[in-house]
């Protein structure tokens, strides 16, 4: 069994993408950790991130014909992941959307390869599911089929109801969601790490999961 999930989280720690401490989320929750994939912002870290996406996707056995990256974060993720898949011998096209339509050149809001076949959506996280819904609209309107969603981290915490944002996407659209790592992997990271600095966050993480976590 590959240990790429722990490799990914350790990499995220080194890049300060994953931090432990006291943070306030957009929902106003007091969280003992913070994950910001936008901080993978240079060539080397983005390249390594794309390797993890490609590995997670391939190990999931999700069947797909192309990638789609919702603007804006998904654009570079889809392009970089397509490159890493090509290095593994799987050359698939990719596309992404603009926030506003262009009225010159190729026009429209979609850029890249035509949406067709089974389309795998690539994004950093699923928060409210907005970018997934928008992506599904593009895919449906093009006559293509959504194959699933690939994200960096599944927080496994409740949204507005009892389900997580990931579970809502799975339930509403019947789509598989592939995550490089999830909250359980975060616990493994903390429990297996010899650092006293990280060990102090085990209990705060357990309390946070009890309050906001989903099964």
Can you list the residues of the chain whose pLDDT is less than 50?
1, 104-105
Q: Which two tokens stand for residue 153?
A: 């981290």
Q: Which of 22, 88, 102, 140 is catalytic?
A: 102
Which residue among 104, 116, 140, 158 is the active-site one?
Answer: 104
- As to burial, measured by CB atoms within 10 angstroms (0-12 exposed, 13-18 middle, 19+ buried), residue 28 is exposed
pTM comes to 0.92
- 102 given a catalytic annotation: yes
Continuous H helices in 34-192: 43-60, 73-87, 130-141, 165-173, 183-192
In tens, the pLDDT along 65-108 reads: 999 999 999 999 999 999 999 999 999 999 999 877 655 445 57
In sequence order, what are the beta bridge partners of 95? Answer: 68, 112
Give the pLDDT score at 102: 58
pLDDT at 207: 96
The Cα 138–Cα 136 span in angstroms is 5
Task: Mark whether 211 is an active-site residue.
Answer: no
* Adjacent-strand bridge partners of 102: 108
Q: What is the structure's pLDDT at 1?
A: 40
């Amino acid at each position: 069994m590959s240990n790429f999930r722990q490799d990914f989280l350790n990499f995220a720690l080194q890049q300060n993408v994953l931090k432990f401490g006291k943070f306030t989320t957009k929902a106003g929750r007091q969280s003992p950790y913070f994950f910001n994939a936008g901080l993978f912002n240079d060539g080397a870290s983005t390249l390594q991130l794309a390797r993890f996406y490609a590995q997670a996707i391939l190990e999931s056995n999700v069947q797909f014909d192309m990638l789609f990256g919702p603007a804006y974060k998904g654009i570079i993720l889809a392009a970089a992941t397509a490159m890493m898949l090509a290095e593994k011998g799987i050359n698939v096209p990719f596309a992404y959307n603009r926030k506003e339509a262009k009225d010159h050149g190729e026009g429209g809001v979609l850029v890249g390869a035509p949406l067709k076949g089974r389309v795998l959506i690539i994004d950093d996280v699923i928060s409210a599911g907005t970018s997934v819904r928008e992506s599904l609209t593009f895919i449906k309107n093009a006559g293509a089929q959504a194959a699933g969603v690939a994200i960096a981290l599944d927080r496994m915490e409740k949204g507005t109801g009892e389900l997580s944002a990931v579970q809502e996407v799975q339930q509403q659209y019947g789509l598989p969601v592939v995550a490089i790592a999830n909250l359980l992997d975060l616990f493994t990271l903390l429990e297996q790490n010899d650092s006293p600095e990280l060990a102090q966050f085990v209990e705060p993480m357990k309390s946070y999961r009890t309050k906001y976590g989903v099964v």
